[in-house]
Amino acid sequence: MTLSHTQLVELANRFGTPLYVYHAEKIKEQYETLQKAFENCNSRFFYACKALTNINILKYMEQLGANIDCVSIHEVNLALKAGFTPERILFTPNCVDFTEIEAGKDLGVNLNIDNISILEQFGNKYGGSYPICIRFNPHIMGGGNYKISTGHVDSKFGISIHQMRHIERIVKSTGLNVKGVHMHTGSDIKDINVFLQGLEIMFEIAEHFPDLAFVDLGSGFKVPYHEDDVSTDVAELGARVCDAFKKYEKETGRRFEVWFEPGKFLVSEAGYFIVKANVIKQTTATVFVGVNSGFNHLIRPMFYEAYHRIENISNPFGNPRIYTVVGHICETDTFAWDRKISEVREGDYLVFYNAGAYGFEMSSNFNSRLKPAEVLVKDGEALLIRKRDEFEDLLRNQIEVL
């Protein structure tokens, strides 16, 4: 389910560029794919909203029936504003002040604690009066690259599985009410055995907590970025995870919910980023396409060396040529090296695919450039969900004292 070149060109002409476009029906398709894959489990899905927090996307997720995963108290407040009730919100902060944890508690959301110090502070102050989840570091290297791997031995995330005795002492001395255990090894996980290996560890950890209600396996489901790319086989993963939970229940008599936190999986393929070719620049060895954007709008290629498929939607049937696509930022901001694209002319529109996750969300006003508009296409209608920045936005919150 994709938007056509013609539709994207029409949107670029109507709303201007650079432009982020999201396709609601693709988000729904992805959500229903997960539901079907895990239909034989007692499963819940929490949209990892750090991928894309536009309030309209959050409202749409809520309407689909998804829950929501938040990593800051401000994301929690956005989720509440979007209509999520506290029991549908999971709050998993990292390296925050204890007051932020308390703010989540006061709002009544599911708290996920990943630090021994915070765990001890919370237990000493609140005892077992408020249920919590504990995030563990399973020491599993998973993820597309080191920068997006969060479960390895040197990760800042989670409490090491080798610190179980320390955790048990805190739980025993403070009476902590542990209702869930959690792990998340990273993003772009191709091998489903990473999840199954982690699940075995979670089952071992569960033996230490008699009152558990759920086991959270995080996410990291991979989506394809180019034609020959692989993706996480969520159907097979769902079947094997459900079988593992059924086997565990039969052996132990304990039945848990299984939670997941998909972010990129739900919104990445639903997103398109449209830019305009400003200049074609020929050097001795390279033909550059300079576009009216940069890593201030889409940082993933520079930050993660991420691949985004790029097409010329103004001239899709032109003769293919080799281009290096760059931005207009006063830094190196290369989107793609030596990429085969239909002949690009100055003024053509290019589209970056898989731009729904961590695109606009990680954008900035670097070089005093304005942030782009966002559009949601739903039921065939294009809805403006964020206005393009204006010059005055650059001065907002600044105080002129000179």
Range of the structural domain that residue 377 is part of: 271-395
Same domain, 260 and 275: no
Across 139-146, average pLDDT: 55
Token readout for 14 is 């109507």
Q: Which residue has the tokens 């994709």?
A: 2
Catalytic residues: 330
**Cα Rg of the chain, angstroms:** 23
**How many domains is the chain partitioned into structurally?**
2
Please check whether residue 23 lies inside any domain of the structure. Answer: no
**Do residue 228 and residue 294 come from a single domain?**
no
Q: Are strands 334-342 and 320-326 parallel, antiparallel or unpaired?
A: antiparallel
- Measured between alpha carbons, how far is residue 125 from residues 73, 108, 129, 326 in Å? 20, 16, 10, 53
The model's pLDDT over 273-325, given as tens digits with 9 standing for 90+, comes to 999 999 999 999 999 999 999 999 999 999 988 999 999 999 999 999 999 99
Q: Do 306 and 264 touch, CB atoms closer than 8 A?
A: no
Closest to 200 in 3D by CA, of 113, 139, 111, 156: 139
CATH value at residue 53: 3.20.20.10
User: Distance between CA atoms of 359 and 225, rounded to whole angstroms?
Assistant: 14
Q: Do 71 and 52 lie in a common domain? A: yes
- In terms of C-beta distances under 8 Å and separation of at least 24 residues, what long-range contacts does 93-99 make, across chains too? 94/156, 94/157, 95/156, 96/72, 98/122
CA-to-CA separations, 273 to 3, 51, 382, in angstroms, rounded = 12, 15, 15
The reply to whether 198 and 82 lie within a common domain is yes
The domain boundary, picked from 233, 264, 295, lies at: 264
pLDDT tens digits for range 154-210: 678 889 989 999 999 999 999 999 999 999 876 667 788 888 888 999 999 999 999
Pair 162, 86 in one domain: yes
300 is in an annotated binding site: yes
CA distance readout (Å), 175 to 74, 78, 98, 147: 29, 32, 19, 36
Residue 4 in domain: no
Model pLDDT for residues 229-254, shown as the tens digit of each residue? 888 899 999 999 999 999 999 999 99
Q: Are residues 342 and 259 in the same domain?
A: no
Q: What are phi and psi of 44, to 5 degrees?
A: -135, 140
Span 351-377, pLDDT tens digits: 999 999 999 999 999 999 999 999 999
Tokens coding 238: 């769902």
Q: How far apart are CA 156 and CA 328, in angstroms?
A: 35
Residues 239 and 296 grouped into a single domain? no
For the segment 82-109, the average pLDDT, to the nearest whole number, is 97
Is 304 annotated as ligand-binding? yes
Find out whether 151 and 137 touch, Cβ atoms under 8 Å. yes
User: What is the identity of the amino acid at 180?
Assistant: G
Specify whether 277 is located in the same domain as 255: no
- Provide the 3-class DSSP secondary structure of residue 195: helix
For residue 8, being part of any structural domain is answered with: no
Q: If DSSP states are collapsed to H, E and C, what string results for 304-336?
A: HCCCCCEEECCCCCCCEEEEEEECCCCCCCEEE
Q: What is the pLDDT of residues 14-28, one digit of tens each?
A: 999 999 999 999 999
